[in-house]
């Protein structure tokens, strides 16, 4: 494939998947700075292997491949830095719609419990939930990104949701 055509196709891929790769990275690492770095590293690595990925994809979407790259880079980041996400839940912007103060407090408390509980999940379950609910990926795409069968992915998601329900339902320490 000619370089111009390869570059054009990569630019299209970048435009099509930038938001998903950034969103995945942000949910994975918990702060904008690291998410931007991971997104940049993901696309740099993807560019190096883009022609081979196109050939091997047989026309399948490249989003799972890109998410897998981001997943591996995030794992490396955690292994190298051994640190927790730095973004405070209170830094999340207030919703734009009008709500009563009571509704805002209840919603924020519930969101805090859910986000804290998601961080307690094993890595594979947390990853699967992020891919499903933050990125809207289907079981087949998630399976490709995590190198699992579609059936194993379905079981993983089911177990992740059940564990999250249990964690969110547990009383929180004061």
Q: Which domain holds residue 12?
A: 1-82
pLDDT at residue 4 greater than cutoff 60 = yes
Of 39, 17, 40, which is closest to residue 28 (Cα–Cα)? Answer: 39
Q: At 105, which CATH number?
A: 1.10.10.10
Q: At 55, which CATH number?
A: 1.10.1740
Q: Are residues 76 and 119 in the same domain?
A: no
Helices of type H across the chain: 3-29, 32-48, 50-57, 63-81, 101-120, 123-129, 139-146, 150-169
Looking at the structure of the chain, the number of domains it has is 2
Over residues 120-135, the pLDDT tens digits come to 888 889 889 888 888 8
* Beta-carbon-side half-sphere exposure of residue 60 (alpha carbons within 13 Å): 13
Write the burial class of residue 148 (CB in 10 Å: 0-12 exposed, 13-18 middle, 19+ buried). Answer: middle
Does residue 87 lie within any of the structural domains? no
**Confidence at residue 22, expressed as pLDDT on a 0 to 100 scale:** 94
Give DSSP secondary structure letters for 11-22: HHHHHHHHHHHH
Q: Are residues 61 and 120 in the same domain?
A: no
pTM of the model as a whole: 0.62
Per mean pLDDT, which of 13-27, 90-104, 159-173 is the most reliable?
Answer: 13-27
Does residue 90 lie within any of the structural domains? no
Among 29, 51, 82, the domain boundary falls at 82
Q: Are residues 128 and 55 in the same domain?
A: no
Q: Do the beta carbons of residue 153 and residue 139 sit within 8 Å?
A: yes
Percent of the chain with pLDDT over 90: 39
Q: Are residues 4 and 77 in the same domain?
A: yes
């Amino acid at each position: 494939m000619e370089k111009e055509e390869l570059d054009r196709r990569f630019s299209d891929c970048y435009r099509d998947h930038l938001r998903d790769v950034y969103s995945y990275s942000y949910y994975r690492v918990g702060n904008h700075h690291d998410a931007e770095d991971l997104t940049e590293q993901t696309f740099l690595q993807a560019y190096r292997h883009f022609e081979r990925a196109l050939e091997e994809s047989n026309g399948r979407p490249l989003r799972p491949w890109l998410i897998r790259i981001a997943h591996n880079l995030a794992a490396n980041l955690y292994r190298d830095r051994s640190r927790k996400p730095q973004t405070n839940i209170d830094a999340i912007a207030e919703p734009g719609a009008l709500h009563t103060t009571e509704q805002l407090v209840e919603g924020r408390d519930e969101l805090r419990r859910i986000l804290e509980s998601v961080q307690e999940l094993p890595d594979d379950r947390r990853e699967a939930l992020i891919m499903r609910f933050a990125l809207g990926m289907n079981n087949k795409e998630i399976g490709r990104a995590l190198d699992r069968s579609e059936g194993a992915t379905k079981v993983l998601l089911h177990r992740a949701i059940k564990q999250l329900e249990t964690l969110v339902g547990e009383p929180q320490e004061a």
